[in-house]
């Protein structure tokens, strides 16, 4: 468990240090350094046997999510260094806001990693609430009227959701107490899994409904999704990358942990139909809303809602193949969507606008950026040979084999979203480059600041996953799929 302690403690220490460090260059380097240490510590987990303690748990389910979170956290910190340097150069941020940003970034990583590794229902809830508070502060970083409004909307809606999740957590403890007695054991995942078959299914069912709605708000599932597009549109783009790529996974992880408890109690309700309904609603709503988005960050925020709907649907279907597809899609969406936001962040900075109609010809003005964005959109649209195609193919074929009527709205939703992505990517990547918003300077003359290494590193991983999955990784996903029921 010492490796887990290092994983959790490193970003916490980083937050304290970065709050005091002046200068954006040193702050950016330290931010990358702390993120790199966290990733190295997370890789150590793969060589350890699963274990649990009073506070932390390491098992097949959370190891890969901890490593994925640490990896995307590192690549986003690398992207963030160049992005923030530009924001300082144009006067959008000052040194005080910069120290705050870097400290909150590491605090955000701490809360997510704590939520993923916690062996206690209450600690996990506190960590998810902490993730909400840190991201609320980062969404309002620019202190514009729109960013403050988006932060308040995020805080209020997710505050309501997290309150419902707290009530569900209390109900879960109340259900476990008659069987396990008062104390920490009734709040511990590993202890609950051994006794959940004896717990009253009536209270267990009610608790799961509150937990699904509560944590589902953080996942961005319809109709509780309204905070997500505003938060993406108004906050710094690196925060959009980790919101879509990481935080949504953490909230869904919480739901799946509770789903495992219900699956281990033979008399509890099947959580699948509820998750299928919310997943399909999110997929269809987001697919339609994509056609009316005019802000590029808001557009890809709705794409995140669409994909979280697909993932929730997959876990709602359950079974070895659908669960496998859901786990694979979680990883592929995290890597692909964060890569897209890296590209979008650079595109917004070189064009000076987030309006889609004002961004065009990126493959001409900045070829490496334009083709990278195009590859990201092709990947997230579910086209081969990228990994998203593999996960969606597995899910669709599994659903057609088991529930053909459910496969129809699933395929329709995917195709509707595909059409919107193809429509917008033509505007963004092709045609004649325009001028920088408000200045008349040709976009082609604006240098690209920062590195594209994180963008292409993510795309390379997604491409490899679409062509070949290592045997140990397949066996690992199969093990977790069996645990999820």
Q: Which domain, by its residues, includes 236?
A: 146-269
* Residue 139 counted as domain residue: no
Q: Please report, rounded to a whole number, the percentage of residues in the chain having pLDDT higher than 70.
A: 100
Decide if pLDDT at 483 tops 90.
Answer: no
Whether residues 485 and 362 share a domain: the answer is yes
pLDDT in tens, 407-421: 999 999 999 999 999
| Residues 50 and 160 grouped into a single domain | no
Q: What is the SS3 assignment for 216-246?
A: HHHHCCCCCCCHHHHHHHHCCHHHHHHHHHH
Residue 1 has pLDDT above 70, yes or no: no
Kindly give, in sequence order, each residue whose CB lies less than 8 Å from that of residue 33, ignoring residues fewer than 6 positions away.
none
Q: What is the pLDDT of residues 321-378, one digit of tens each?
A: 999 999 999 999 999 999 999 999 999 999 999 999 999 999 999 999 999 999 999 9
Please tell me whether residues 374 and 479 are part of one structural domain: yes
**Alpha-carbon gap, residue 161 to 485, rounded angstroms:** 26
- pLDDT tens track for 40-65: 999 998 887 777 777 899 888 889 99
Domain termination site, one of 242, 269, 296: 269
Q: Same domain, yes or no, for 204 and 310? A: no
Do both 376 and 477 map to the same domain?
yes
Q: Is residue 37 part of a domain?
A: yes
Q: Is the pLDDT of residue 141 over 80?
A: yes
State yes or no: pLDDT of 145 exceeds 70: yes
Q: Is the pLDDT of residue 434 over 90?
A: no
- Residue 140 lies inside a defined structural domain of this protein: no
Judge if 361 and 320 occupy the same domain. Answer: yes
Residue 125 forms part of a structural domain:
no
Q: What is the C-alpha to C-alpha distance for residues 102 and 88, in angstroms, rounded to an integer? A: 13
Q: Measuring CA to CA, which residue among 413, 328, 429, 313 is closest to residue 375?
A: 429
Residue 295, beta-bridge partner list: 355
pLDDT in the model for residue 317: 95
User: 335 and 438, same structural domain?
Assistant: yes
Q: Quick check: 311 pLDDT over 60?
A: yes
Question: What average pLDDT does the segment 145-173 reach?
Answer: 92
Do residues 311 and 428 share a domain? yes
Same domain, 281 and 383: yes
Pair 222, 279 in one domain:
no
Q: Is 133 a domain residue? A: no
- Per-residue pLDDT band at 266 (split at 50, 70, 90): confident
**For the domain that residue 77 is a member of, what is the CATH number?**
1.20.120
Asked if residue 422 belongs to a domain, the reply is yes
| pTM exceeds 0.85 for this model | yes
Do 424 and 322 lie in one domain? The reply is yes
Domain stops at, among 73, 104, 119: 119
Q: Write down the residue that tokens 């074929």 correspond to.
A: 397
- Whether 132 is covered by a domain: the verdict is no
Any domain includes 135: no
pLDDT recorded at residue 297: 94
Is residue 86 scored above 90 in pLDDT? no
The pLDDT assigned to 471 comes to 86
What is the predicted pLDDT for the residue at 223? 86
Inform me whether the pLDDT recorded for 18 exceeds 80. Answer: yes
85-102 burial code (b ≥16 CB/10 A, e <16) = bbbeeeeebeeebbbbbb
90-116 pLDDT tens trace: 878 777 888 899 999 999 999 999 999
- What is the C-alpha to C-alpha distance for residues 13 and 23, in angstroms, rounded to an integer? 18
Question: pLDDT, tens digit, for every residue of 178-197?
Answer: 888 888 888 998 899 888 88
Mean pLDDT, the chain, rounded, equals 91
Shared-domain flag, residues 54 and 155: no
Total domain count for the chain?
A: 3
**Which residue among 235, 269, 303 closes a domain?**
269
Question: Buried (b) or exposed (e) across 275-289, using 16+ Cβ within 10 A?
Answer: bbebbbbbbbbbbeb
């Amino acid at each position: 468990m010492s490796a887990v302690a290092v994983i959790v403690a490193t970003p916490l220490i980083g937050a304290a240090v970065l709050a005091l460090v002046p200068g954006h260059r040193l702050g950016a380097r330290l931010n990358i350094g702390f993120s790199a240490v966290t990733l190295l510590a997370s890789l150590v987990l793969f060589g350890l046997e699963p274990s649990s303690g009073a506070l932390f748990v390491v098992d097949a389910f959370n190891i890969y999510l901890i490593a994925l979170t640490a990896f995307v956290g590192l690549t986003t910190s690398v992207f963030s260094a160049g992005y923030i340097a530009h924001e300082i150069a144009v006067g959008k941020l000052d040194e005080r806001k910069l120290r705050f940003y870097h400290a909150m970034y590491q605090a955000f990583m701490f809360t997510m990693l704590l939520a993923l590794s916690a062996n206690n229902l209450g600690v996990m809830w506190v960590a998810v609430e902490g993730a909400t508070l840190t991201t609320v502060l980062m969404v309002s970083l620019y202190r514009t009227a729109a960013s403050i409004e988006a932060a308040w909307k995020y805080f209020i809606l997710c505050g309501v959701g997290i309150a419902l999740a707290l009530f569900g957590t209390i109900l879960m403890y109340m259900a476990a107490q008659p069987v396990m007695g008062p104390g920490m054991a009734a709040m511990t995942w590993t202890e609950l899994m051994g006794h959940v078959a004896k717990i009253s299914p009536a209270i267990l069912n009610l608790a799961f409904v509150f937990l699904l709605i509560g944590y589902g708000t953080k996942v961005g599932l319809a109709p509780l999704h309204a905070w997500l597009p505003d938060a993406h549109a108004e906050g710094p783009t690196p925060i959009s990358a980790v919101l879509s790529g990481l935080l949504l996974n953490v909230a869904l992880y919480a739901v799946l942990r509770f789903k495992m408890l219900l699956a281990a109690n033979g008399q509890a309700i099947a959580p699948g139909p509820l998750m299928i309904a919310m997943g399909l609603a999110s997929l269809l709503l987001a697919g339609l809303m994509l056609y009316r988005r005019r802000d590029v960050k808001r557009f890809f925020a709705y794409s995140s809602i669409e994909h979280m709907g697909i993932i929730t649907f997959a876990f709602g279907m359950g079974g070895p193949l659908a669960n496998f597809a859901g786990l694979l899609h979680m990883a592929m969406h995290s890597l692909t969507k964060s890569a897209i936001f890296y590209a979008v962040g650079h595109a917004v900075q070189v064009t000076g606008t987030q309006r889609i109609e004002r961004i065009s010809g990126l493959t001409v003005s900045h070829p490496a950026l334009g083709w990278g964005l195009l590859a990201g959109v092709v990947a997230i649209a579910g086209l081969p040979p990228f990994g998203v195609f593999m996960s969606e193919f597995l899910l669709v074929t599994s659903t057609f084999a088991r529930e053909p009527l459910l496969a129809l709205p699933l395929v329709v939703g995917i195709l509707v979203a595909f059409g919107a992505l193809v429509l917008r990517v033509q505007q963004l990547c092709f045609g004649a480059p325009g001028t920088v918003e408000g200045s008349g300077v040709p976009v082609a003359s604006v240098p690209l600041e920062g590195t594209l290494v994180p963008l292409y590193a993510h795309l390379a991983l997604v491409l490899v996953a679409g062509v070949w999955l290592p045997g140990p990784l397949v066996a690992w996903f199969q093990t977790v799929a069996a645990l999820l029921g």
